[in-house]
Structure 1
Amino acid sequence: MSRTALIVIDVQESFRVRPNWQLVNHPDIAERVDRLVRAARDKGDLVVWVLHTEPGTGGAFDPAEGQVRLIDGLEPLPGEPVVTKTSHNAFTTTNLQQLLTQHGVGEIVVCGIRTEQCCETTARVGSDLGYDVVFVTEATATMALAHWSIRDEASVEEILADPRTLTAEQVAERTEYALAGRFATIRTLDELTGVPVSS
């Protein structure tokens, strides 16, 4: 019988030091993820922690800047793998697939930051690699998304003022539409933890 692994993606301080964190849909993402982590540990599932790094960039994802660490309140247990990646998905630049194979994992549960970026991409690649993928949108976080033509230089105020901007809720909904029935099964926090989410 194959095991399940909870993949915790990029729930790191790097995001909280950027101006667009004020646009995040789930500022309590660490608490949401912690619920999944506790439930996974109780079931004997593997918990894998993933951190995104951009070495040498001098930005929030450069390990030298000190923000590439889990958000306060999240702590891997001894024996829980922590992998660092440099690509959007958690597989391409890491030994994640090898780790999952070693532990007999056939199903992955995806949570973390950002919903439509690293989380969705990991779900898609995981599905293509043959894993059964569960995507817990409630335990992912993202921000309002500016139109591609203004994204690089836009301030938070400009992003909010632009009628083409997608809200974080719209981004999450589009991710669910793209993944469901193709790459992943969408599940709620309550379904996976058995504990109602506080609103």
Structure 2
Amino acid sequence: MTQTALIVIDVQESFRVRPNWQAVNHPDIADRVNRLVTASRARGDLVVWVLHTEPGTGGAFDPVNGHVRLIEGLQPADGEPVLTKTSHNAFTTTHLQQLLTQYGIREVIISGIRTEQCCETTARVGSDLGYDVVFVTEATATTPLPHWTLPADASLEEVLADPRTLSPEVVTERTEYALAGRFATIRTLDDLTGLAVAS
């Protein structure tokens, strides 16, 4: 029985319909995730898909608008669980922990959108729950992070013009600093996809 699960978090069309997607650091996130998925399946690992929903909000994450679906090019195989969450991490509002226990999972590999938000939060919670967490930063994506005082409806142009805005590269680096050695092991795409070829 496999002891490793790949968790694919929020790689969904909801993000692509938002203006700030134009400034995403990894517009090819679906291809990056597919590399991980292919390698995980080849090793016999469990692949778990997670989608974020915000019912009743009328926004990009409200299921009624049709964007809460995997980005084109991603497709769960038969039997691979697809969970929907309403919290930032993939555990609190789903039965993910029960699922991982059922499969005897001890290690989780984290990928998805956004690096510093749902992916990082899931990594931290997963670590606290006792899982060995592998964080594949290259298979995560994020957008520029505005200063908290900037209005929520600020345009992408305003966000990018603000000198306090953190670039995706800085956000990603900070996530790695926060996780490494505390909550997760940082691994590269080549690390994990090479294993499938070698085994």
Corresponding residue of 1:104: 104
Q: Which residue type is aligned with residue 152 of structure 1?
A: A
- After TM superposition, the structure 1 = structure 2 runs for residues 142-153 of structure 1, keeping only pairs within 5 Å, are 142-153=142-153
Tell me whether 1:190 sits opposite 2:190 in the alignment. Answer: yes
Tell me whether 1:86 sits opposite 2:90 in the alignment. Answer: no
| Count of aligned pairs | 195
Q: Which residue type is aligned with residue 168 of structure 1?
A: P
Tell me the CA shift for residue 19 of structure 1. 0.4
Tell me the CA shift for residue 23 of structure 1. 1.0
Please, which runs of 5 or more residues in structure 2 have no aligned partner? none
CA distance in 1, matches of 2:22, 2:153: 17
Corresponding residue of 2:115: 115
Corresponding residue of 2:127: 127
SS at match of 1:194: helix
TM-score, L = length of structure 2: 0.96
Q: Which residue type is aligned with residue 155 of structure 1?
A: S
SS at match of 2:106: strand
SS at match of 1:140: strand
The answer to whether the 8 A contact 1:9-1:90 is kept is yes
Corresponding residue of 2:46: 46
Q: Which residue type is aligned with residue 154 of structure 1?
A: A
CA distance in 2, matches of 1:55, 1:84: 11
Q: Which residue type is aligned with residue 189 of structure 2?
A: L
Q: Which residue type is aligned with residue 41 of structure 1?
A: R
Q: Which residue type is aligned with residue 156 of structure 1?
A: L
CA distance in 1, matches of 2:58, 2:171: 28
Q: Which residue type is aligned with residue 190 of structure 1?
A: D
The answer to whether the 8 A contact 2:2-2:46 is kept is no
The answer to whether the 8 A contact 1:2-1:106 is kept is no
Tell me the CA shift for residue 2 of structure 1. 6.0
Tell me the CA shift for residue 154 of structure 1. 1.2
Tell me the CA shift for residue 123 of structure 1. 0.1
TM-score, L = length of structure 1: 0.96
Q: Which runs of 4+ in 1 moved over 6 A?
A: none
Tell me the CA shift for residue 151 of structure 1. 4.6
Corresponding residue of 2:20: 20
Tell me the alpha carbon deviations over residues 9-41 of structure 1, each in whole angstroms, 9 at most, x when there is no partner.
000000000000011000000000000000000
The answer to whether the 8 A contact 1:26-1:142 is kept is yes
CA distance in 2, matches of 1:102, 1:115: 27
* C-alpha RMSD over aligned residues: 1.0
Q: Which residue type is aligned with residue 125 of structure 2?
A: V
Tell me the alpha carbon deviations over residues 120-167 of structure 1, each in whole angstroms, 9 at most, x when there is no partner.
000000000000000000000000100000050211111111000000
CA distance in 2, matches of 1:78, 1:160: 42
Percent of counterpart pairs with the same letter?
Answer: 79
